[in-house]
């Protein structure tokens, strides 16, 4: 950066428009980009969930990998014991007999998933398909654009780790009490950006959010207490929407 700014100063000093350029010099200098925590891998090597996923990644036998936060994590259970219904029944219904490894962790973020992939969960067994949905837990301290950059970093890591796998990049689910909810708006902004990662060959952006919304933008199939986690109806919508495509990729 110092070298680039030095070159710009030299250009200004020798330009016929020197006086004008010097007046507006601050507009043509190279600035350090804002640090984006969403792309900074963060995690703990002692996390027991991570350690168990490393074992599965190395020794497991699965065709599809699920990656995400608590919403994905809940696919494995009937409920989490904290009032959140799980999606086990719905996903068993639509994925019966399919070999799946669920690497969802409650509370995880883009930087957490990125760290986990770089530290063992992306090594070993190679899935044929990956379903990724992450980013809602980043909304507290990041913009939609920053969240999208974090998701893009994960997709790049997945392409490096699993070059032969097809990646279903699921739009971040809607949240909040209505369309003006600030966190929903951030998720919508991120979704618009990550949609551009769709290439129809390796990465397939999949947006099913319209199925979760009524005509006023209210949530369908989500807990009314937190407006974030799906209930049985929500998991049914999700599983039925993605199963046909994911299963076609592994046959």
- Express each pLDDT in 46-72 by its tens digit: 999 999 999 999 999 999 999 999 999
State residue 176's pLDDT score: 98
- Express each pLDDT in 15-38 by its tens digit: 999 999 888 888 888 887 778 999
Mean pLDDT score, 109-115: 98
102 has pLDDT over 80: yes
> In whole angstroms, what is the distance from residue 219 CA to residue 181 CA?
12
- Express each pLDDT in 125-183 by its tens digit: 999 999 999 999 999 999 999 999 999 999 999 999 999 999 999 999 999 999 999 99
Domain with CATH 3.40.50.1110 in the chain: 40-250
pTM for the structure as a whole = 0.88
Nearest to 205 by CA among 131, 144, 142, 138: 131
Tokens describing residue 78: 């009937």
- Where residue 192 falls among pLDDT bands split at 50, 70, 90? very high
> In whole angstroms, what is the distance from residue 80 CA to residue 72 CA?
12
- Express each pLDDT in 195-223 by its tens digit: 999 999 999 999 999 999 999 999 999 99
Instruction: Collect all residues with Cβ–Cβ distance below 8 Å to 246 and sequence separation of at least 6.
Output: 64, 95, 98, 129, 131, 168
> In whole angstroms, what is the distance from residue 241 CA to residue 53 CA?
26
CA distances from 245 to 101, 139, 166, 207 (A): 17, 29, 10, 13
Instruction: Collect all residues with Cβ–Cβ distance below 8 Å to 160 and sequence separation of at least 6.
Output: 122
Strand partners, 104: 68
State residue 49's pLDDT score: 96
> In whole angstroms, what is the distance from residue 126 CA to residue 110 CA?
21
Q: SS in 3 state form for the chain?
A: CHHHHHHHHHHHHHCCCHHHHHHCHHHHCCCCCCCCHHHCCCCCCCCHHHHHHHHHHHHCCCCEEEEECHHHHHHHCCECCCCCECCHHHHHHHCCCCCEEEEECCCCCHHHHHHHHHHHHCCCCCCCEEEEECCHHHCCCCCHHHHHHHHHHHHHHHHHHCCCCEEEEECCCCCCCCCCCHHHHHHHHHHHHHHHHCCCCCEEEECCHHHHECCCCCECCECCCCCCCECHHHHHHHHHHHHHHHHHHHC
Give residue for tokens 């790049």. Answer: 156
Q: How many residues does the chain have?
A: 251
CATH number of 40-250: 3.40.50.1110
- Where residue 117 falls among pLDDT bands split at 50, 70, 90? very high
Q: Other CB atoms closer than 10 Å to residue 169's CB: what's the count?
A: 24
State residue 243's pLDDT score: 98
State residue 220's pLDDT score: 98
Tokens describing residue 27: 């507009």
């Amino acid at each position: 950066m110092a070298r680039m700014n030095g070159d710009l100063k030299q250009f200004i000093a020798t330009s016929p428009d020197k006086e004008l350029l010097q007046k507006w010099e601050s507009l043509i200098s190279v600035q350090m980009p804002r640090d984006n925590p969403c792309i900074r891998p963060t995690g703990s090597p002692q996390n027991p969930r991570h350690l168990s996923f490393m074992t599965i990644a190395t020794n497991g036998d699965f065709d599809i990998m699920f990656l995400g936060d608590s919403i994905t994590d809940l696919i494995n259970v009937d409920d989490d014991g904290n009032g959140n219904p799980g999606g086990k029944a719905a996903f068993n219904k639509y994925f019966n007999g399919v070999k799946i490894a669920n690497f969802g962790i409650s509370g995880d973020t883009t930087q957490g998933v990125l760290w986990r992939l770089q530290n063992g969960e992306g090594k070993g067994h190679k899935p044929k398909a990956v379903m990724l949905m992450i980013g809602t837990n980043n909304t507290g301290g990041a913009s939609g654009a920053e969240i999208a950059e974090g998701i893009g970093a994960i997709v790049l890591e997945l392409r490096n780790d699993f070059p032969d796998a097809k990646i279903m990049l699921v739009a971040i689910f809607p949240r909040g009490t209505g369309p003006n909810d600030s966190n929903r708006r951030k998720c919508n902004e991120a979704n618009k950006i990550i949609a551009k990662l769709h290439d129809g060959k390796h990465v397939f952006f999949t947006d099913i959010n319209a199925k979760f919304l009524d005509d006023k933008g209210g949530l369908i199939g989500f807990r009314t207490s937190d407006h974030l986690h799906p209930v049985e109806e929500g998991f049914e919508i999700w599983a039925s929407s993605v199963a046909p495509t994911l299963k076609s990729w592994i046959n």
